[in-house]
Amino acid sequence: MITPPPYPASRPRRLRRDAAIRSMVREHRLAPEDFILPVFVFDGDGPPQDVASMPGVQRRSIAGVLEQAEQCVALGVPAIALFPVIDAALKTPDGVEATNPEGLVPRAVRAIKHRFPGLCVLTDVALDPYTSHGQDGLLDDTGYILNDPTVAMLTKQALVQAAAGVDIVAPSDMMDGRIGAIRHALEAAGHVHTRIMAYSAKYASAFYGPFRDAVGSAGNLGKADKKVYQMDPGNSDEALREVALDIAEGADLVMVKPGMPYLDIVRRVKDEFRVPTFAYQVSGEYAMLKAAAANGWIDHDAVMMESLLAFKRAGADGVLTYFALDAARLLARR
């Protein structure tokens, strides 16, 4: 019989004994500058409208979005991402409203940059809020999403956003070659400072459900899905190929989406490429945490912070999260 040693060879618990030592050896921490706040904007005036499947999130007028922008500035959240709720009457099969220089998004960008020039503004480059069928691109007769004609439309959309003064365009459509096409067009138009954050590894995920309610594209999309352009959840190496393409085509920052179920992808991307890597804690992730917290099954604030910290640990440089303001407020109180 082997006699056990009288003492453990090592006592890792020494470094967990009290709050002071824990804080000294902590490897990752959260700060307000880790967050990007996604906001939903509608045209016209009126009070904020609750999004039923996203408790605590509202659709807002441009004036309402300016109030949120002010909160970001006050709390040190450096960036805001705009998602438009487009009037049904403006939706068409080709989504051409996306390229209107006087459309909702360019007006919202100008308003925010005018009031808060130091706040970084991101805009989504994708057609789904603008198409009558709710897909991110143009369709052929069989309903297949056409690549190159879609890229041509997205390029116009990105140019309009850049001309309005947006800091970062974020193509979220997953068409082939769109980063290169957009980068080329931006350069040719003299928008040399406009950054591209590519939704490089964007999966065909069921976690986007509440977002589609929020922007009002769920009804347009119906039972259709986006599997012929967004990535298969079973794939991991493919994410690295997508990121490699986007970097080669001119992306400044890359993104993985959804977030928590795909932290393995965040880590692989960061380790492989060492470029600024972001993750999107999407609407369905937010809704799950909110629902469980509302039932008293989990502690809202504790789980919010733990979920966000997980992104940092996985290697993300920042997180798009609907919790941005709540988390920043909590950090300010500490």
Catalytic sites, residue numbers: 202, 257
**Does 59 participate in binding ligand PBG (rule CB under 6 A)?**
no
Q: What is the DSSP letter of 323?
A: T
**Does 97 participate in binding ligand PBG (rule CB under 6 A)?**
no
Closer by beta carbon to ligand PBG, 178 or else 226: 226
The least distance separating ligand PBG from the CB of residue 10, rounded to whole angstroms, comes to 43
What stretch of H or E contains 42? strand 35-42
List 40, 211, 229, 311, residue binding ligand PBG (CB under 6 A): 211
Phi and psi at residue 34, in whole multiples of 5°?
-80, -10
Q: What is the DSSP string of 182-240?
A: HHHHHHHTT-TT-EEEEEEEEB--GGGHHHHHHTT-HHHHTT---TTTSBPTT-SHHHH
**Does 212 participate in binding ligand PBG (rule CB under 6 A)?**
yes
Mark the binding-site residues for Mg(2+), compressed into ranges: 242
* Residue 78 backbone zone (phi > 0: left; psi -120 to 50: alpha; other: beta): alpha
Q: What is the DSSP letter of 12?
A: G
Q: 258 preceded by cis ω (within 30°)?
A: yes
List 34, 97, 124, 167, residue binding ligand PBG (CB under 6 A): 124
List 128, 167, 246, 249, residue binding ligand PBG (CB under 6 A): 128
**Does 321 participate in binding ligand PBG (rule CB under 6 A)?**
no
CB < 8 Å & 24+ apart, contacts of 90-94: 90/130, 91/130, 91/131, 91/132, 91/220, 92/130, 92/131, 92/132, 93/131, 93/132, 93/133, 93/138, 93/139, 94/127, 94/131, 94/138, 94/153
**Does 282 participate in binding ligand PBG (rule CB under 6 A)?**
yes
Q: Give the residue nearest to ligand PBG (CB).
A: 211
The least distance separating ligand PBG from the CB of residue 257, rounded to whole angstroms, comes to 7
Stretch that binds ligand PBG, among 6-14, 120-128, 265-273, 303-311 (CB under 6 A): 120-128
The least distance separating ligand PBG from the CB of residue 312, rounded to whole angstroms, comes to 19
Task: Tell me the site size for ligand PBG, rule CB under 6 A.
Answer: 11
Closer by beta carbon to ligand PBG, 39 or else 164: 39
The least distance separating ligand PBG from the CB of residue 128, rounded to whole angstroms, comes to 5
**Does 136 participate in binding ligand PBG (rule CB under 6 A)?**
yes
What stretch of H or E contains 16? none
**Does 208 participate in binding ligand PBG (rule CB under 6 A)?**
yes
